[in-house]
Structure 1
Amino acid sequence: MDYKSLSNSAIELLKQLIATQSFSGEEAAVADLMNGYLTARGIKTERYLNNVWAVNEDFDASKPTVLLNSHLDTVRPNTGYTRNPFDPTVEGDKLYGLGSNDAGGCLVSLAATFVHFYHQKGMKYNVAFAATAEEENSGKNGLECLLPKLPPVSFAIVGEPTQMQLAVAEKGLMVLDCVAHGKSGHAARNEGVNAIFKAMKDIEWFNTYRFPEASEFLGEVKMSVTMINAGTQHNVVPDRCSFVVDVRLTDTYTLEEVYETIKQQVTSDVTCRSMRLRPSKIEVSHPIVQAGLALGRTTYGSPTTSDQALVDAPSLKLGPGDSARSHTADEFVHLSEIHEGVELYIRMLEKVIL
């Protein structure tokens, strides 16, 4: 098995992706690059918006399908960059560039893995590959709109930087818009009901309340008040104070259960923006997890949210790179991580699908 030639081709693709701007919603050019990489290797591709996907050559609708997915888009570079974020530079074992770690290394490693299995005959599973858009902004024109066009997914590997360890659970996300109501009055007189003080009581509840059940891999539900706004001028008691709460959910509670508890406990009006990004979990007994454990990998729960939340099937978050480098200045991935990633993806899948 020539893993190195596969991973070397993946690295060259990653350099091209880094050099091509691909902010969320602006992935057309990198989708072209991914499509070209696959078609140059004899793979028949499909495209919808800025999403590129394919299934193995010997696809059989009677067999279950494993989905290999990662995202094409990047965040915008922050002001801390000392390098050109679009210049793929190799120094020693490091490849620098925007999106190199999140999630370019995962994306190209999964693409190379798909190339390896594309022509394979007689597999127990079909293999589908999807390079998708709008992950970083949780947009609806990425994996969410593509999933109905794909074959039914039996299980998925979602490529995000995990140091090739097995993220068997992932926190969900719920964003709440809260409004505390008071009564306006003149600040110089004892008039009105200050909405800020009413909001403060609810904010203190969010800061101190603990949901009683904790998750084995994800720990506790975490609620963080991240934005607040009130008042129109200095001498008017505000009758309205709005604030935003970031809620990270575990597999212990449904989003609906957490939402109802919050509404019962606070006096502010609470509106949930979306319930799309649900917590994810795959059983440790699942064959793909067992394959990783047999190859010396370890399991953990991921605090970050990804497109894994959109997959209505068991899914494993797994990929080269380190989540701690994501969205940081002078982002990089180790070339050795990509070499390791391609080999481990292939060896794990071989234990399950062949």
Structure 2
Amino acid sequence: MVNNLVDFTDYFQSEELIEILQGLITEKSENPISTEESVAYYVRKLLVDNGIEANLHWAADGRPNVFAELKGGSGGPTLLYNGHLDVVPAGEGWESDPFEGVIRGGKLYGRGSADMKSGVAAMIYSAIVLKRMGNPFEGKLILFFTVDEERENLGMRHFLKENVSADYAIISEPTELNICIAHKGVARYRLRTKGTPQHAAKVKESDNNAITNMAIFIAALENLNKEIKKIKDPILENASLTVTQIKGGIAINVVPSLCEIEIDRRLLDGETEEVVMKQIENVLQNIAKINNIDYELENYLFLPATNISRDHLLVENLEEVVRELYKKDAKVDVFGATCEAPFLSVYKGIPTVICGPGSLEQAHIVDEYVEVQQVIDASNIFISLVLKILQSN
């Protein structure tokens, strides 16, 4: 180790870290095919076996968040390390078993290897190494691994009800170890139009077709998207509205009685749930009135944008750690997707950075992989950050 960093090489074994990651991948947690229960028990056992207090907090049946605490000296701040335990379904077409964690050419393959069991493994191992060192820091390190990030955020919604807070937080989503200080928010809507079912041979000009009605709405929403894209943010660039899914009709010769689309609205800093919903409703109401269309609009997800100042102490400390470890400057960037950071940064008021091993380009694809060296580097960074930022005030 170099410069001001504590030397922990005697406590760190790369092979042990990679075995932990392979164990995480072996414990299937495909959402929604299965739950995260087995991988949560695996994580708790790992921590407890290494002398770290860990507990399961149940967000739903079979769906436990994992909490663990590593306490140093009194008087210091609290740092929270977070990641999610669920993965998307593996699907077909893999070159090797997606739940083995096979290593080829310096890459570890498996569902969740990038998104994001490698980040979870690196955080787990950082706590194990720090424990072996005798917790040589002030304050407290919290490990919090959550369920259901890939779908409905049940784990984080349960977390909001708990009396847990921190001074700083890191989410180890795949950023290729870039320090991501912001990401767009997302709102998701289901829009349904109705029609009058009948035989397609009996259609008249005035008949009510749910798909035709939806087409009118889609055209109006695309015009709204053009206006929304004019909304700019110096860091996050532009907002957007995209129709991403459509379904309707029951047979080729039946006029459809129902059509449904999914709408994905990407959000900039400061855009609120009420204002964004009203923006869409105003367009739909005007079109519905002109064309006599019956519809329903459901908002089932709203996660605001998140950001942290470029010169925040947490960001500066992370940059210093990377510089001291690897003699190079870290890239400070924007996260290219939406994650659970707003639950921490917006709803809990915890300054939060996204930084972890793996590439977002690997998320959710066949033959997903993570560079083995990035996992090792991530754990080194997480250990060093604790030793740097958790000092007495």
Fold conserved between structures, TM > 0.5:
yes
Give aligned pairs, total: 350
Partner Cα separation in structure 2 for residue 89 and residue 135 of structure 1: 25
Letter in 2 for 1:83: S
2:59 paired with 1:22? no
2:46 paired with 1:37? yes
Q: Following superposition of structure 1 onto structure 2, how do residues 1-354 of structure 1 map, counting pairs within 5 Å?
A: 1-3=7-9, 5-24=12-31, 26-49=35-58, 50-58=64-72, 64-118=77-131, 119-121=134-136, 123=138, 125-140=139-154, 142-149=155-162, 151-181=164-194, 187-208=202-223, 209=225, 210-211=227-228, 212-231=230-249, 238=256, 240-266=258-284, 267=287, 268-275=295-302, 277-294=303-320, 295=323, 296-311=329-344, 312=348, 313-354=350-391
Partner Cα separation in structure 2 for residue 202 and residue 164 of structure 1: 42
Partner Cα separation in structure 1 for residue 73 and residue 39 of structure 2: 26
Q: For structure 1, which segment, 198-207 or 42-51, has the greater mean C-alpha deviation from structure 2 after superposition? A: 198-207
Per the alignment, do residues 216 and 188 of structure 1 end up closer, same or farther by CA in structure 2, a change over 3 Å counting?
Answer: same
Give unmatched runs, 5+ long, in structure 2.
1-6, 59-63, 288-294, 324-328
Residues 258-294 of structure 1 deviation map (CA, whole Å, 9 limit, x = unaligned)? 111111122354221133x332211212111122334
When the two structures are superposed, what TM-score results if normalisation uses the length of structure 2?
0.80
Q: Does the 8 Å contact 1:65/1:151 carry over to 2?
A: no
Partner Cα separation in structure 2 for residue 234 and residue 100 of structure 1: 43
Q: Does the 8 Å contact 1:223/1:245 carry over to 2?
A: yes
Partner Cα separation in structure 1 for residue 250 and residue 28 of structure 2: 40
When the two structures are superposed, what TM-score results if normalisation uses the length of structure 1?
0.89
Partner Cα separation in structure 1 for residue 24 and residue 123 of structure 2: 14
Give the fraction of aligned pairs with identical amino acids, expressed as a percent. Answer: 25
How big is the shift at 1:57?
Answer: 2.7
How big is the shift at 1:239?
Answer: 5.7
Q: Does the 8 Å contact 1:53/1:129 carry over to 2?
A: yes
Give unmatched runs, 5+ long, in structure 1.
none
Partner Cα separation in structure 2 for residue 206 and residue 164 of structure 1: 37
Per the alignment, do residues 271 and 347 of structure 1 end up closer, same or farther by CA in structure 2, a change over 3 Å counting?
Answer: same
Q: Does the 8 Å contact 1:288/1:349 carry over to 2?
A: no
Letter in 2 for 1:205: A
Partner Cα separation in structure 2 for residue 14 and residue 179 of structure 1: 43
Residues 91-131 of structure 1 deviation map (CA, whole Å, 9 limit, x = unaligned)? 231112221111111001111222344442551x4211112
Q: For structure 1, which segment, 335-344 or 246-255, has the greater mean C-alpha deviation from structure 2 after superposition? A: 246-255
Partner Cα separation in structure 1 for residue 254 and residue 117 of structure 2: 51
Q: Does the 8 Å contact 1:166/1:318 carry over to 2?
A: yes
Per the alignment, do residues 27 and 303 of structure 1 end up closer, same or farther by CA in structure 2, a change over 3 Å counting?
Answer: same
How big is the shift at 1:84?
Answer: 0.8
